[in-house]
């Protein structure tokens, strides 16, 4: 048998066994439950299906585990055999009990069909599975032996081929070794000549590199000196610019201070004249108003000093205020 036939037989055996087990379980439950209801205490009739279910569950366990063990080529010992026959006889007794109590031989024979079929099917299925396992083991052993024989033949052919290849390779290696020795002798002579030439070339290259390095170092030194001189000149120029800037700032502050002092003296001179009885010329009146505004005098005091009206002086004060605001805006911007 090949693997496909073995799997087909196992499938047919498994399906048939479980169909018989399922039918026997259903028939047993339907047959035994009324009997258990009649023989249960009052109020406990609902427990009638428990006993057939327990017995049938034991049947399922036996059939399933026997199938697994048979498929693995194992044997569970005496206890599985005892459980299998005990559950079979229990199922048979429970199914024929009702008919036997009524002395109905035909009914007992009819109800014994399913349990007997279940017992015989379990034993037969176990035997079939063991036979299938034995056949499958024999098939696997045969295939393994054939595979080992093929591998041995292939190994012998491979070893013979490797031996021929090794002999050819050793012969070729001998020829190649002799050729390499001859070439190595020629190569050593050539290498010696090339080494002498390379040594001379290396010495010339080192001399050139040394000369170039010395020239590069001289150029680098000159560049560093020039850079240092440029930096010194730049520092001196920056110092001169800084001194010129400071001198210009000092001169500007001095001129600004002199101008402020001169304007203060002029304002003092204009304000020292005191109130007048007639209007001063407009340019002089403007200077008086400007001096009064700078000193913070009231509008009326400025009007007394220049002889002009308070409205005119107020307009000039407003002009000075606007001008001061514009100056402040320009300074802030």
HEC readout, the chain: CCHHHHHHHHHHHHHHHHHHHHHHHHHHHHHHHHHHHHCCCCCCHHHCCHHHHHHHHHHHHHHHHHHHHHHHCCCCCHHHHHHHHHHHHHHHHHHHHHHHHCCCHHHHHHHHHHHHHHHHHHHHHHHHHHHHHHHHHHHHHHHHHHHHHHHHHHHHHHHHHHHHHHHHHHHHHHHHHHHHHHHHHHHHHHHHHHHHHHHHHHHHHHHHHHHHHHHHHHHHHHHHHHHHHHHHHHHHHHHHHHHHHHHHHHHHHHHHHHHHHHHHHHHHHHHHCCCCCCCCCHHHHHHHHHHHHHHCCCHHHHHHHHCCCHHHHHHHHHHHHHHHHHHHHHHHC
**Please, which residues have CB within 8 angstroms of residue 28's CB and are 6 or more apart in sequence?**
52, 55, 56, 91, 94, 95, 114, 115
- Average pLDDT of the segment spanning 59-81: 64
In this prediction, residue 67 carries a pLDDT of 60
Q: Which pLDDT value is given to residue 3? A: 62
Distance CA 66, CA 149 (A): 36
**Of 279 and 190, the one with more pLDDT:** 190
Interval 104-119 mean pLDDT: 70
In this prediction, residue 9 carries a pLDDT of 65
Please indicate whether residue 24 or residue 246 has the higher confidence score (pLDDT). Answer: 246
| pLDDT digit string, tens, across residues 193-238 | 889 888 999 898 998 998 888 888 898 989 989 888 888 888 888 9
pLDDT at 326: 43
Residue 308: predicted pLDDT: 81
The reported pLDDT for the residue numbered 267 is 67
Q: What pLDDT is stored for residue 48 in this prediction?
A: 62
pLDDT for the residue 32:
67
Give the pLDDT score at 325: 47
pLDDT of residue 36 exceeding 80: no
pLDDT band per the 50, 70, 90 thresholds, residue 71:
low
CA angle 41, 43, 45 (to 5 degrees): 70
Q: What predicted TM-score, i.e. pTM, was given to this entire model?
A: 0.31
Query: If pLDDT is split at 50, 70 and 90, which confidence band does 6 have?
Result: low
Mean pLDDT (the chain) is 76
The pLDDT score that the predictor gives to residue 45 is 62
């Amino acid at each position: 048998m090949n693997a496909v036939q073995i799997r087909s037989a196992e499938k047919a055996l498994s399906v048939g066994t479980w169909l018989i087990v399922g039918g026997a379980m259903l028939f047993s439950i339907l047959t035994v439950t009324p009997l258990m209801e009649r023989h249960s205490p009052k109020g406990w009739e609902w427990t009638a299906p428990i006993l057939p279910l327990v017995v049938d569950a034991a049947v399922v366990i036996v059939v399933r585990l026997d199938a697994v063990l048979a498929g693995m080529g194992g044997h569970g010992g005496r206890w599985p055999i005892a459980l299998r026959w005990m559950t079979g006889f229990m199922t048979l007794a429970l199914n024929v009990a009702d008919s036997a109590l009524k002395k109905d031989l035909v009914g007992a024979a009819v109800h014994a069909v399913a349990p007997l079929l279940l017992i015989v099917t379990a034993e037969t299925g176990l035997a079939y599975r063991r036979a299938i396992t034995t056949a499958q083991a024999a098939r696997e052993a045969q295939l393994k032996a054939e595979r080992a024989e093929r591998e041995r033949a292939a190994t012998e052919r491979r070893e013979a081929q490797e031996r021929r290849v090794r002999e050819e390779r050793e012969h070729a290696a001998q020829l190649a070794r002799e050729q390499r020795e001859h070439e190595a002798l020629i190569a050593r002579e050539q290498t010696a000549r090339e080494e002498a030439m390379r040594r001379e070339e290396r010495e010339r290259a080192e001399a050139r590199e040394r000369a170039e390095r010395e020239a590069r170092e001289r150029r680098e030194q000159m560049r560093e000196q020039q850079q240092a001189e440029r930096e010194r000149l730049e520092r001196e120029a920056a110092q001169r610019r800084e001194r010129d800037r400071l001198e210009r700032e000092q001169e500007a502050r001095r001129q600004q201070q002199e101008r402020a002092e001169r304007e203060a003296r002029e304002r003092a001179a204009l304000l020292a004249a005191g109130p007048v009885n007639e209007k001063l010329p407009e340019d002089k009146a403007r200077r008086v108003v400007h001096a009064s505004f700078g000193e913070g005098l009231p509008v009326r005091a400025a009007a007394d000093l220049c002889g002009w009206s308070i409205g005119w002086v107020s307009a000039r004060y407003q002009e000075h205020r606007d001008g001061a605001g514009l100056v402040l805006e320009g300074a802030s911007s």
